[in-house]
Structure 1
Amino acid sequence: MVPAGRKHPGKAGKAPTEEQPGKAFGSDRVVRGLSGSEEEDEEDSASAADINKALLAKRKRLEVYTKASFKSSSQKIEHVWKTQQEQRQKLNQEFSEQFLAVFQQWDADLKKAEEQEEKLVSIMRQQQKVFQQSRAVQNQRLKTVRQLYEQYVKSLEDLEKNHDNLLNGTQNELKKEMAMLQKKIMMETQQQEMASVRKSLQSMLL
């Protein structure tokens, strides 16, 4: 881009097309020929200064734009970072609250389960103790029943022996009494027969 105010070197000494050819090489040209190079140098210097000013202005505008763009980008990045941080904090807070609620409920359920387990263990111990006591009582009852049965069997055996002995004794006594009674009857019969014979003899003799 050519800065404003700069004249192209090739157009600096060009005469208008309407001028006569002789005029191009007239006194005007001679006078200008003496100072033309100085004017061109001045124009070149002015053009260079304008270029430097334009470049400087562009550089400043670029710096301002860069700073503004960097500031805007920084603000946007900071806004995005803050938004993300807030979202992360919100998510962490929500998760922490949910986790804390679930953990408290889980801890309460665990304590309740432990209490129930302790109660169950206590009940099981009591039941086991009662069962052991009942088993001991049953064993004692069974032992007593066995002892009673053994005693009953022994008593029955003794009773049968006594009955046998008593029966044998009674039978023996009965036999003795029968024998004595038979002997007595025989003796009485013999005495009656003897008396009858005597009586018959007496009657025959008399």
Structure 2
Amino acid sequence: MLERFGADIGKAMQAKRKRLETFTKSSLKGSNQKLEQLWKTQHAQRQKLTQEYSQQVFSVLQQWETDTQKSEEQEEKLNNLFRQQQKLFQQARVVQSQKLKTIRDLYDQFVKNMDEMEKSHESFLQGAQVELKKEMAMLQKKIMMDTQQQEMATVRKSLQSMLF
């Protein structure tokens, strides 16, 4: 009878191990899928934001380069008229300063948006972490309840086999 009782306990433990492995694998798979999707979404957002600001900076730099070329052409044409040439240089410098200021403003906005996005992503990751902890707690509770039920069934079965 004791050998049978021990065999029943061994089978129950083996079944518990298999169930625990199954529960754990499914939970990890779900968590990995969620994290992978989260990473892809964040990566796409970063790429989009970087691309938008790169295009804007590139456009401003092209305009700046065009303005610089025009300024050089004016310098050659108006070589004899010093005062007019000086005015054109002053205007070009103002425009260049504005372009440089625009680039600085775009850079500051880009950094600010990246910081905000990082904070948002951190917050989202913290939320995902809390959700994962809740899922793990529910899984532990489920495993404990299943284990208790199986132990009760094994004890009943063993007692019945001992009594009858």
Give the TM-score category using the shorter length: 0.3 to 0.5
Is the radius of gyration larger for structure 1 or structure 2? 1
Greater helix share, structure number: 2
> Relative CO higher for 1 or 2, CA cutoff 8 Å, sep ≥ 6?
2
Q: What's the TM-score, normalizing by structure 2?
A: 0.48
